[in-house]
Chains A and B, each alone.
Chain A
Amino acid sequence: MKFGVIVFPGSNCDRDMQHALQDDLQQEVVMLWHKDRNLSMFTKNDCIVLPGGFSYGDYLRCGAVARFSPMMEQVINFANNGGKVLGVCNGFQILCEAGLLPGVLLQNDHQKFVCKNVYIKSESTNNLIGVNVGEKALKIPVAHGEGRYYADAATLKQLHDNKQIVFRYCDEHGEVHINSNPNGAINNIAGICNEGRNVYGMMPHPERACSTALNNIDGRAILMALN
């Protein structure tokens, strides 16, 4: 099993992701350039990661231009064939723009870039991440200006009914309420998966919480769930 981390122009969490997977979690990592088109070295057991950052300078909309990069066309095929895909922050935005995940990430309701530790809680054991992380509130950093998850009522119902909500923002005791929501995301949604449960997107950064040197390893269980 190996991870592939895509580097877009403007990605800035790609090396953090590589470091967390390779050095903290001892996983095999292949760095992938957005202009390449070759994913033939990856099988369904492998996981492609779209890291955080500001791909293509967030031009037009966050993730809108990256979605049409040559590598993303391959990632869409990979995901549609059952391959595992994780998008973090800007990666989540790209997955929504690509239609691999429903909904969209809007500008934070308070108009500010938010950069701090938050707590998130798994919603269901019906997906790879939920099985691995249990019910504990995980302390994971967020850093985004456009992280307010939104989907229309019909899509939300579908997400709920299919148990596709992976994480909600909560407080340190695991209570989900309005004060634990850092960006105004609808229903406190921090992460979701697709119906096939092979594509995952989340705004918080698990790769920034994998090292004992950083005094927080809550992110390890999230990344290792995709192993």
Chain B
Amino acid sequence: MKYIAHINVMPLKELLDPQGKAVNSSLHNLGLTNLHDVRIGKHITLHVDAPTKDEADRQVRDACKRLLANQVMEAFDFTLTEG
């Protein structure tokens, strides 16, 4: 089976996100003052060949833990769709 993983990697909530902070103030400069708490992370997609969805889930989780996210500073989540 072929699956597509849609992965989000976000900076941990307790950490300052300077990029998000800068974009937040730019939004306010545009007059969009009701928008706040901007945080910027990464969205990663990849294709997985696996016999079952559980196996695809296991492989993607492994990839996230070992390379795609650094859990000292980031948290990840993902969804799998058939592709």
Measured CB to CB, the residues of A under 8 A from B are: 60-61, 64, 68, 96-97, 103-104, 106-111, 150-152, 184
Contact = CB atoms under 8 A, between A and B. Distances in A.
Interface residues of B, number: 11
A152 B72 contact: yes
Contacts of A64: 67, 70
Nearest to B66: A68
Contact of A107 (B18, B67, B70): B18
Given A111-B22, A184-B16, A104 B73 contact: yes
A173 B22 CA distance: 33
B18 A111 contact: yes
Given A109-B16, A111-B18, A150 B67 contact: no
Nearest to A105: B73
Contacts of A96: 72
A68 B16 CA distance: 28
Contact of B70 (A61, A68, A108, A110): A61
A108 B19 CA distance: 10
Contacts, number: 31
A103 B70 CA distance: 10
B14 to A, nearest CB: 9
Nearest to A111: B18
Contacts of B72: 96, 103-104, 150-152
B18 A110 contact: yes
Interface string B60-77: 000000011010110000
Most-contacted residue by chain A among B16, B21, B72 (CB, 10 A): B72
B80 to A, nearest CB: 21
Nearest to A97: B70
Nearest to B74: A61
B1 interface: no
B15 interface: yes
B18 A68 contact: no
Given A106-B15, A111-B22, 19 more contacts: A60-B67, A61-B70, A64-B67, A64-B70, A103-B72, A104-B73, A106-B73, A107-B18, A107-B19, A108-B18, A109-B16, A109-B18, A110-B18, A111-B18, A150-B15, A150-B72, A151-B72, A152-B72, A184-B16
